[in-house]
Structure 1
Amino acid sequence: MLAERATIYLGSIPLEVFMLPDGRYVLSQTQVAEAVGKTEVSFRDFVTSKSPEALPYKGFRPAKLSIKGNNIKINTIPIDVASAYWTKEAIVGNVTAARLLGACTAESIERRADSAFGVQRAEEERQEFIKQRMASKQVRRQLTDAIKAYIDRHPELSDNNRKWLYVNASQRVTLVVFGRKAKKLAEDLGVAPDNLRDALTPHELIMLQEVEDTAVRLIDIQDRHPDDAIQQSAERLLIQVQNRALKLK
């Protein structure tokens, strides 16, 4: 079966869509996982899990498709399976998945409302709307704010501990994701430490954000020490040290 390919954007997240000869749409299994900061293994684990969202798809296997103009076969999945996977991710605390689902739901309702009222909008306008929605959702409690609140709750901390808590936390975030501290990673990538995030891929930025967001909740709700919170975030999110960092010497 030969499929046609096009790229759409959910906010700033690119997603390839494939149209089958019968007009149905499917998505890349790998990209569906990467869109919310996960690897393909995460999706495969999902469809074999006992998650309520996965039960309707028990025994599901992706379809390998050949794409016009490309000899490589791609594992593809139906849109409803992708949506179920993102829903599960949102439920377990994946902030990016929650933002993505919220923006897509709002856009779907708006499209139906526009149809009902005879309103026509350019695709550029719709894309701008979804970007704004996902951007507005990104106004979140920062890790530095959570650390400040932790310090205020713990007057027993020494002045030296207070001084280095912010720096140590920032270094630990890149350590759990890339296997090295921020300064060393920036040095390996040939950029200034202040410009490190500009040198990272969207997938890598999502992973950093997921670790920080989860750590914030652990600090705020469970009063975890910031270093412990960041380490536990990586463990809960099943973060694996990124391969490209391992290749840097």
Structure 2
Amino acid sequence: MNKAKRASFLLGNISLDGFQKDGEYFLSQSQVAEAVGVHKYEATRFTEELRKNQGYTGHKNEGVNDFKTLPDKGYTGHILEIESNGNGKRGGSRVKVISPETATLFWGYQARKGNDKALGLICACAEETIQRRLDRAFEQVKTEEEYEKATGIKYQTWLESRAFLKDAHASFTNCCLYNDFVAAVAHDKITIAVCGMTASELRELDVIEGNSKVGLNHVRDKETLVKIAKVKLEFSRYRTGNVDQRVERAIKAVNN
């Protein structure tokens, strides 16, 4: 029987196994799930729904649009016999695999559900793809190691930025509760000071990622989001002052 070949590669700073058989590439279904911090059964359920709905993900109840159909062998999640390379790679001689197309759809679905790891991975890989094409257009020569290192750094930095945003918002919310501030009002004063728009005005813009009801999900510039987070964090640190005073002080502190 013709067995598949295995090779390891880096995606961002995540090590994955790739498989090749009859000129086609595949990924381990369990590793695809692990790469974005979810249990392998999440990927299993996803591929089962693709198969059941002839290539559509459905999940309309969770606000995810249907994806386009895929070739049958791309979404069934079948098992490959793997050539032994004698180095004790995990997964044994049989691995349940999915196509790169299906893996990308799964990560996209996870990102739409609010999975920061999935969104960070997609963004880092998309940026690397654009960077490679620009380098080719301008005849810039870089090694694979340089591309992998840059993508890994961007992925990690993105995750750290998202964690900072969440922490800052939690501190801001707690501060508002403790001081009997109306969080929505304080939030609007901060967004007006930083980007000149209230949350409701931001929601009129195209959504970039996540729930469209969240104003900050419509802000395209990540640096603006980080600045808002810094202002929220400064706002939360002050022991005295009303909302306007805290916002003014926080803006000055962040701009200095």
Alignment TM-score, normalising by the size of structure 1: 0.57
**In the alignment, does 2:176 pair up with 1:153?**
yes
Task: Please state how far the C-alpha of 1:95 moved relative to its aligned partner.
Answer: 0.5
Letter in 1 for 2:133: R
- Match for residue 4 of structure 1? 5
Identical counterparts, % of pairs: 28
**In the alignment, does 2:156 pair up with 1:135?**
yes
- Match for residue 246 of structure 1? none
Task: Please state how far the C-alpha of 1:79 moved relative to its aligned partner.
Answer: 0.6
- Partner of 2:141, secondary structure, is coil
Kept in 2, the 8 Å contact 1:2–1:21? The answer is no
**In the alignment, does 2:58 pair up with 1:50?**
yes
CA distance in 1, matches of 2:138, 2:67: 36
- Partner of 2:58, secondary structure, is coil
- Relative contact order (alpha carbons < 8 A, sep ≥ 6): 1 or 2 greater? 1
Kept in 2, the 8 Å contact 1:33–1:40? The answer is yes
Kept in 1, the 8 Å contact 2:13–2:151? The answer is no
State which of 78, 81, 101 in structure 2 corresponds to 1:66.
81
**In the alignment, does 2:38 pair up with 1:25?**
no
Pick closer, same or farther for the CA change 1:146–1:110 going to 2, 3 Å. closer
Letter in 1 for 2:46: F
Matched length: 161
Letter in 2 for 1:155: Y
- Match for residue 234 of structure 1? none
Structure 2: give runs of 5+ residues left out of the alignment: 50-56, 60-64, 86-91, 181-209, 218-256
Pick closer, same or farther for the CA change 1:115–1:151 going to 2, 3 Å. closer
- Partner of 1:96, secondary structure, is helix
Pick closer, same or farther for the CA change 1:37–1:92 going to 2, 3 Å. same
State which of 125, 141, 146 in structure 2 corresponds to 1:120.
141
Structure 1: give runs of 5+ residues left out of the alignment: 158-213, 222-249
CA distance in 2, matches of 1:118, 1:144: 42
Task: Please state how far the C-alpha of 1:78 moved relative to its aligned partner.
Answer: 0.9
Pick closer, same or farther for the CA change 1:104–1:147 going to 2, 3 Å. closer
Task: Please state how far the C-alpha of 1:144 moved relative to its aligned partner.
Answer: 4.7
Kept in 2, the 8 Å contact 1:54–1:85? The answer is no
Letter in 1 for 2:39: T
Kept in 1, the 8 Å contact 2:18–2:26? The answer is yes
- Match for residue 201 of structure 2? none
- Match for residue 40 of structure 2? 40
Structure 1 vs Structure 2 CA RMSD: 2.9
State which of 90, 112, 115 in structure 2 corresponds to 1:94.
115
- Match for residue 180 of structure 1? none
Kept in 1, the 8 Å contact 2:12–2:151? The answer is yes
CA distance in 2, matches of 1:108, 1:147: 34
Pick closer, same or farther for the CA change 1:111–1:149 going to 2, 3 Å. same
Kept in 1, the 8 Å contact 2:78–2:97? The answer is yes
- Partner of 2:6, secondary structure, is strand
Task: Please state how far the C-alpha of 1:55 moved relative to its aligned partner.
Answer: 5.2
Pick closer, same or farther for the CA change 1:55–1:132 going to 2, 3 Å. same
Task: Please state how far the C-alpha of 1:54 moved relative to its aligned partner.
Answer: 4.7
Letter in 2 for 1:77: I
Letter in 1 for 2:45: D
CA distance in 1, matches of 2:165, 2:113: 20
- Partner of 1:2, secondary structure, is coil
